Structure 1
Amino acid sequence: MRIAISAFLFTTEAGKRYAGVGRNMARNLEEIVRKDRGDTYHIFVNQGVELPESWQSCPWITWHPIEIKGVAQRLYWEHYRVGKEAKRLGCDLVHSLFANLPYACSLPKTTVIHDAFPRTHSSWYTTRNRLILDWMTATGCRVATRVVTVSEFSKRELSRAYGASMAKIDVCFNGPGNDVSDLDQAGIAAISREGLPDLDVPFVFTVSTLEPRKNLVGLVQAIASVPDVKLYIAGAKGWLNSDLASMVENSPAKDRIVFLGYVSDEQLNLLLNKCTVFTLVSYVEGFGIPVLEAMVAGAPVVTSQTSSLPEVAGEWAFYCDPEKPESIANALLSALGDADNLSRMAKGGQEYAARYSWESCVDSLHDVFRKAIGR
């Protein structure tokens, strides 16, 4: 197959590394570069993206860096010009890494849509972001020959909220977003701790964009009832998070709560290896890559019993109701209160997480391409 990929939203900007959407884009492209599946690709990216040398020299990929000046020009390329270029280049299919597809292009089209949140949880967005994302999602569901999403939960939600036929939606599960692993003592010692707090004390760790959906307010409330552990929070600033700052300032546990901001990939791996417990207590997730990463690194996990998270963690997590801070606290206390069980859950989670990989994700995506063009 000859495949055109619209990847204008792909970025190598370090500060955006935490977002699951960004990691999905990067890992899909990385895996397409890594393994020859017998296809050729024409990939359209923003001219400002710095591509690794190994990507640029990949023999089955032709890169098309396009100078994009502003949103209007990007939308012109995503919704019109990519389709025209794909036909000129003799492509069999157009694929978008995130929602936006060319309307009028007669070629089969596939797109990745991670969730239905702009419609099912609209209050968690600024008005501008909600309108844009809702329009992108609705348009992608309508225009695509096949829609790719990342969990069975998201498949059901996209069908329910946007009217996409279940038969039209395919699930390609994510792999870990970062190169995480279970480090030995030498590996731990080799990673710089510059800018990090004390990692040799008991601490609960979480990583996410600071936004309402991640329920960091509930986690901060819960940690006040969990004595003798610190809470370390890594993640880029998001939106609508003023309540979080106020909650921390007024928390009796405020001296035990540390915001780390951006950390490098290596430091993230170190934090996952050193934490006593990893937690992600979002109200809802389309997949939940950080939970998978924690399990791969051998960290015990406390997470929400909602949405896609039980799909990702299976029986190898301590679950809580994210709507109730006392439930979060009880799950943390349960995890921290039994060292033998904590170790058992961590080991089982690590084995369970091995089923998820970017190779299997892109292999599944390749099957979707074939299905879309009728092969």
Structure 2
Amino acid sequence: MLVGIYMPAGTVQRGALPPVDGLEIYFLRHAIQGIAGSKTNTDTQFVWFYEEGEEPPVQEVPCEAIRRPASLFTLSHGSAPTLEEAVANRQVDVLLTRIDAPQPLPKTVPKVLFLLDMYFQGEAQLIRTPAPPLHRKIKQACTEAKSILCPSEYVHKTCSSRLGMGLEKAVVARPGVNPVFKEPQGSIIDGPFALYILNRYTESGIPTLLAAIEKNRELFPPSLVVLGNARGNEPDNWGLPVVRIEQCPDAMTASLMQHARMCIYLSKGEGSGMTVLQAMTAGAMLVTTKLGANFEVAGMVPFYCEPDNSYSLLQVLHRMLDESPKEREKRRQMAHSLIVDHTWERCGTKVFSALKRSQL
């Protein structure tokens, strides 16, 4: 079975937030490694389609450039084949793609849709206001898809109600975690620091963090490490001396999580819980929200606050810093019991099941 993967940076849904932080790529790259590691699916091969002019997104599988789709103001151009032509040329058996992919999807092959989160609905859905109407292409993609791949029960149930589809069409493939997060790592930052994980889910939490620092700077360590791709709403002044890291390997992320005095993840709509899993595995003192899949993944291990309430964040930080070593050890033991079943091999098996089922 040859599986084509198409995970573009654009989106067809008006008002949606484009997935520019590579989270889908990270998830699927590790899931593919999990499929390879299981050694039971040796007949499965992959080819990753990416748009002309961009860098190949992965090194683990063959990649092929395709022509960019036309838009309202620009024509499709370039020497590369279209997605439909590339799928036909490669004789792809099944196409794995995002639900809101901007390219016209080929009708000649079965499709499995991947939803890392519900951000394709637009930002309105995340603040509990009515979501905008679904684009007709999203409705059509859901109708034609053989199955929909979800990383959590949160996404599973939410997409079922939002898309009006039966639960039986969705497959839940929970993410794993790289074992490097539990291996002791040397510190790469001098002195005590707080860690803020920045991605599409936590960009809206920046004002809450800034307000908390302004209200009680003494509660925070002397410096702040901000980890994640640059975002449009980043401030010029974070209120603390900042070490800015845009991208780093998992071992460096593990080091930051292990040595941070506090790991702050003020997320909205987190669909997979990958970052929470990593922080739990690293033994981080994690402050996050109950929104999205966080509570489903982490239970009572993290300290929870409201994402838009700086007073809530400060109260939680006070409680976290007052915990005794015995209480912290109990929290780490709870984390270990929750993460033991989260492996990329198990995730890969679920992904493979969804792909194989599309052939029936």
Q: With structure 2 as the length reference, what TM-score do the two structures score?
A: 0.78
What's the secondary structure of 1:95's corresponding residue?
strand
* Separation of aligned partners in 2, 1:144 and 1:274: 44
Distance change >3 Å, CA 155–CA 45, structure 1 → 2? same
Q: Distance in 2 between matches of 1:162 and 1:257?
A: 45
Quote the residue 2:180 is aligned against: 180
- 1:20 matched residue in structure 2: 23
Query: Is 2:309 aligned against 1:318?
Result: no
Aligned to 1:205: 195
- Please give the alpha-carbon distance, in whole angstroms, between the structure 1 residues aligned to 2:200 and 2:96: 30
Match of 2:211 in 1: 221
Unaligned runs of 5+ in 1: 11-15, 57-62, 125-129
Residues 131-182 of structure 1, C-alpha deviations (whole Å, 9 max, x = no match): 9x96775454233111111111112222233333322122111123x56323
SS at match of 2:235: helix
> What is the deviation of 1:285?
1.1
* Number of residue pairs aligned between Structure 1 and Structure 2: 330
Matched, 1:297 2:295: no
Output aligned runs, 1:348-359, within 5 Å: 348-359=334-345
Alpha-carbon shift at residue 293 of structure 1 (Å): 0.6
The alignment status of 1:77 with 2:78, answered yes or no, reads no
Q: Indicate if the aligned counterparts of 2:257 and 2:279 stay in contact, CA closer than 8 A.
A: yes
What is the rounded CA distance, in whole Å, between the counterparts of 2:167 and 2:122 in structure 1?
17
Sort the Cα spacing of 1:209 and 1:324 in 2 relative to 1 into closer, same or farther, 3 A.
same
Distance 2:137 2:274 in 1: 22
Counterpart residue type for residue 154 of structure 2 = F
Paired position in structure 2 for 1:162: 163
Given residue 257 of structure 2, which amino acid in structure 1 is its aligned partner? L
The amino acid that maps onto 1:66 is E
Report the alpha carbon displacement of residue 212 of structure 1 after superposing the two structures with TM. 6.3
Match of 1:260 among 221, 230, 244: 244
Query: Superposed, which structure 2 residues align to 1:1-375 within 5 Å?
Result: 2-7=1-6, 9=8, 19-36=22-39, 37-46=41-50, 48-49=55-56, 52=59, 55=60, 63=62, 65-72=63-70, 77-78=82-83, 80-85=84-89, 88=91, 91=93, 93-96=94-97, 100=101, 103-119=105-121, 121-122=123-124, 137-176=138-177, 180-184=180-184, 187-188=185-186, 193=188, 196=189, 198=190, 200-201=191-192, 203-209=193-199, 213-223=203-213, 224-225=215-216, 227-230=218-221, 231-239=224-232, 241=233, 244-245=234-235, 248=237, 254=239, 256-265=240-249, 266-340=251-325, 341-374=327-360
Q: Distance in 1 between matches of 2:182 and 2:202?
A: 31
CA RMSD of aligned residues (A): 3.5
Deviations 1:88-135 (A, max 9, x none): 46x3x33236754864534332121122223252488xxxxx99x967
Instruction: Write the distance in 2 (CA, Å) between the matches of 1:210 and 1:154.
Output: 16
Instruction: Assess, with a 3 A threshold, how the Cα gap between structure 1 residues 288 and 214 changes in structure 2: closer, same or farther.
Output: farther
In the TM superposition, residue 363 of structure 1 has moved relative to its aligned partner by 0.4
Given that 2:272 and 2:293 are in contact with CA atoms closer than 8 Å, whether structure 1 keeps it comes out as yes
Deviation at 1:310, TM superposition (A): 0.2
CA contact (8 A) 2:196 2:265 kept: yes
Q: Hey, what's the Cα distance between the residues in 1 that align with 2:100 and 2:89? A: 18
Q: Distance in 2 between matches of 1:214 and 1:257?
A: 21
- TM-score (normalised: structure 1): 0.75
- Measured after TM superposition, the shift of residue 324 of structure 1 is 1.7
TM-superposed CA distance for 1:213, in Å, is 4.8
* Superposed displacement of residue 216, structure 1: 1.9
